[in-house]
């Protein structure tokens, strides 16, 4: 796990992401590889799309009338576009008590769980609703559409997942219906049940927010047990015992990193502190 964190930033740089985006993405890469597997494989599969991150046409965002945000990913990968959604939702959650952001035209949905974890690490509680694009290849542990409920109890991250038509989704919808973003979340849950382009929405609540506490209270009910996911435990085990990866995936990780290496020369050696001073 530590090796993926160490190499991941350089590997994402080699794939074509800018330095800052790659640095943030290395944590998403390591988390996803530990929890689901196949993260490096997904980066390689979306190589041409990730390489577009250097083009001038960027990701656009606009404030909605209900106070939330709409982002157009322009076909970009979630490693690049997802953290921008998280930043906007986080800013409003901390300043206003609640935040909502919706991202369309994106790919790479194997990373959707890592983005929910990113919000948890910021000590927020909330819900992600998503629908993967038809071309995304997902492992069995990642549904093609649905929701992820996230938060913290004590110092431990907690998650629950389910389909848009899951009975628990109706209870979540009822709780969020009393907030400004209730109609938006209801629309997104309905949208997740249909097919179409990839999108991700997140609603987040700051610490000590009553709605956030109500969402977390759902996780205490016995009938929710099958929806709970111990992602934090999987990550901790990966740091302790390592991550099982396909040999080709590991080779691809190092091959991407090697793209950032500079050619060796006498001048580079001397600048690195070798030779005569």
In order along its 277 residues, the chain shows pLDDT tens digits of: 788 888 999 899 999 998 889 999 999 999 999 999 999 999 999 999 998 876 667 789 999 999 999 999 999 999 999 999 999 999 999 999 999 999 999 999 999 999 999 999 999 999 999 999 887 888 888 888 999 999 998 888 999 999 888 888 899 999 999 899 999 999 999 888 787 888 999 999 998 889 999 999 988 888 888 899 999 999 999 989 988 888 999 999 999 998 887 666 666 556 554 444 3
SS3 56: coil
* Contact yes or no for 165/244 (Cβ under 8 A): no
Are residues 40 and 244 in contact, defined by beta-carbon separation less than 8 angstroms?
A: no
The contacts of residue 123 (CB under 8 Å, 6+ apart) are 152, 207
Distance, in Å, from the CA atom of 106 to the CA atom of 94, rounded to the nearest integer, reads: 26
Q: Per residue in 50-84, pLDDT tens?
A: 988 766 677 899 999 999 999 999 999 999 999 99
Which DSSP state fits 104? E
CB 98 within 8 A of CB 124: no
DSSP code of 195? -
The full set of domains in the chain, from first to last, is 1-56+231-262 (1.10.1530), 58-229 (3.30.1370.60)
What is the pLDDT at residue 221?
85
Whole-number Å distance between alpha carbons of 51 and 30: 20
Q: Could you count the other beta carbons within 10 Å of the beta carbon of residue 180? A: 15
Say what the pTM is.
0.89
């Amino acid at each position: 796990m530590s090796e993926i964190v160490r190499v991941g930033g350089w590997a994402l740089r080699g794939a074509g992401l800018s330095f800052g985006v790659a640095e943030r993405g290395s944590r998403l890469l390591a988390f996803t590889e530990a929890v689901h597997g196949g993260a490096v494989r997904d980066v390689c599969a979306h190589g041409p799309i990730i390489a577009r991150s250097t083009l001038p046409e960027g990701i656009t965002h606009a404030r909605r009338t209900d106070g939330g945000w709409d982002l157009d990913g322009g076909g970009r990968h979630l490693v690049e576009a997802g953290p921008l959604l998280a930043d906007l939702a986080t800013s409003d959650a901390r300043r206003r008590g609640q935040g909502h952001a919706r991202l369309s035209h994106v790919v790479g949905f194997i990373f959707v769980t890592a983005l929910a974890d990113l919000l948890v690490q910021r000590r927020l509680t909330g819900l992600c609703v998503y629908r993967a694009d038809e071309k995304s290849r997902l492992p069995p542990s990642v549904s093609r559409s649905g929701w992820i409920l996230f938060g913290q109890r004590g110092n431990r991250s907690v998650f629950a997942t389910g389909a848009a038509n899951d009975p628990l989704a109706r209870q979540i919808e009822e709780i969020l219906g009393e907030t400004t973003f209730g109609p938006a979340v209801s629309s997104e849950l309905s949208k997740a049940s249909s097919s179409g382009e990839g999108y991700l929405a997140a609603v987040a609540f700051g610490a000590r927010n009553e709605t956030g506490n109500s969402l977390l209270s759902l996780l205490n009910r016995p009938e929710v047990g099958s929806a709970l996911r111990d992602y934090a435990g999987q990550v901790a085990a990966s740091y302790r015992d390592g991550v099982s990866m396909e040999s080709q995936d590991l080779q691809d990780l190092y091959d991407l990193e090697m793209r950032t290496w500079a050619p060796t020369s006498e001048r580079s050696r001397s600048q690195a502190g070798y030779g005569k001073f």
